[in-house]
Amino acid sequence: MTEPPTFSIVIVSYNTAALTLACLESLAAANGTKEIHVVDNASTDGSPSLIKESFPDVYLAANRTNRGFAAANNQALPHCTGRYIVFLNPDTSVKKDSLEKAAEYLDKNDQVGLAGAKILNPDGTLQESVSYRYPGEKYSSWETKNLAGNIACVLGACMIARKELIDSLHGFDEDFFLYGEDQDLAWRIREKGFSIGYIEDSEVFHWGSQSEAKTPPVEIFAKKLKAEYLFYAKHYRPQAIVRIKRSQRQKAIYRLITLKLMTPFVRDRFVHDNKMQYCRIALEMAAK
C-alpha cells in the first residue's frame, strides 16, 4: 500500500499560463513527498492544455466557468490525500527546501492550524504577508478576544494547513468569490482553538496580482471592499458594522471634497478620476 504524501498542493489558475508552469517546475524540484492539484477557472490562454502536456502527473480540473478562488480550492479538497494542504498561488515559485521547512514547523507546533510562508518579491525583498488585525477590527469591541494566537491572518499566496482541520471547516467559505477568503478561514481556524503561524525559513517568491492584471483598478477596489463588508457581516456585531460604515462614509466624503478642490491643479486626470471613483464606491457601500 502506497504511503500518502506529506503535502497536497492546490493551485487555482486563471489566465496565468507561463507563471503556472514556472510554479509547477519549482514544485517538481522541491523536496518532500507531494501531490499537486491544479484547478483552472476557465482560462482563455491555453492553461489546461499546456499544464497537461508539460506536467502529466498533475491532477488537473478544467472548469468551464470561473467559479471563484474559494470554490475552486474547495473543489480539489475531496481528492487531497496529504497530511498537509498547501494553498499556493500560480504566480509563486518555491525554494527547494520550502515545503520541508513548512512540514518541520507544523510538526513541532501542534497548536498551529495554518501557517504562512515567508513571502518574497521577485527581487528577493520581503513582501508584507502577516496581519495582526482584521479589517475594521478597531471598531469591534469583543469579537476577537477569544480567538487563539496573536496573528490575524497570513497572505493567501502560500498557506500551509492541517488537512483534518481544513476538512472539519469544509474549506473556504464560497460566499467569498475573490479576496477576503483567507482572512475568513484564518478567523474560523482561530475559533477552533488553533493559532495562525509564520514560517520564517520557508521562503516563497510571489509576483502578485497576476490573475487580475487586466482588471481596472476601480473594479479591483470594489471587489476588495465588497469582500470586506461580507467579512464584517459574518464576524462582527451590528453595532460594530454601524461604526465601520460611519467611519467609511466620513472618510469618503472628506476625501471627495478634497479631491474636488484639487481638480483644477491635477496633472494626471486618470489617477485623479480613479480616486474620485474609489470614494463614490466607498460611499455607496457604506450606505447599504
What is the predicted pLDDT for the residue at 1?
56
Report the pLDDT value the prediction gives residue 2, as an integer from 0 to 100: 75
Rounded to whole angstroms, the Cα distance separating 39 from 42 reads 9
Per-residue cell: 119: 513571502
User: C-alpha distances in angstroms, 237 versus 40, 233, 271, 273?
Assistant: 36, 8, 36, 34
Beta bridge partner(s), residue 41: 63
Q: What is the DSSP string of 141-202?
A: SSTTTTSSSS--EE-TTEEEEEHHHHHHTTSS-TT-SSSSHHHHHHHHHHHTTPEEEEEEEE
- pTM (2 decimals)? 0.93
| Fold held by 7-206 | Spore Coat Polysaccharide Biosynthesis Protein SpsA; Chain A (3.90.550)
- State the Rg of the chain over Cα: 20
In the chain, at which residue ranges do the beta strands (DSSP E only) sit? 7-13, 34-41, 59-63, 84-88, 92-94, 112-120, 130-131, 153-154, 158-162, 195-206
| Distance from C-alpha of 21 to C-alpha of 51, rounded to nearest angstrom | 7
The rounded distance, in Å, linking the Cα atoms of 22 and 5 is 22
Question: Where are the domains positioned within the chain?
Answer: 7-206, 237-286
* 6 contacts: CB under 8 Å, gap ≥ 6: 32, 33, 34, 82, 83, 84, 99, 103
Q: What pLDDT is attached to residue 74?
A: 98
Whether 36 and 21 have beta carbons less than 8 Å apart is answered as: no
List the chain pLDDT tens, one digit each, 288 residues: 578 999 999 999 999 999 999 999 999 999 999 999 999 999 999 999 999 999 999 999 999 999 999 999 999 999 999 999 999 999 999 999 999 999 999 999 999 999 999 999 999 999 999 999 999 999 987 899 999 999 999 999 999 999 999 999 999 999 999 999 999 999 999 999 999 999 999 999 999 876 666 788 899 999 999 999 999 999 999 999 999 999 999 999 999 999 999 999 999 999 999 999 999 999 999 988
Torsion of CA 78, 84, 85, 91, to 10 degrees: -150
If DSSP codes are grouped into helix, strand and coil, which group holds residue 64? coil
Q: Please give the Cα distance from 267 to 265 (Å, whole number).
A: 7
Predicted pLDDT of residue 140: 87
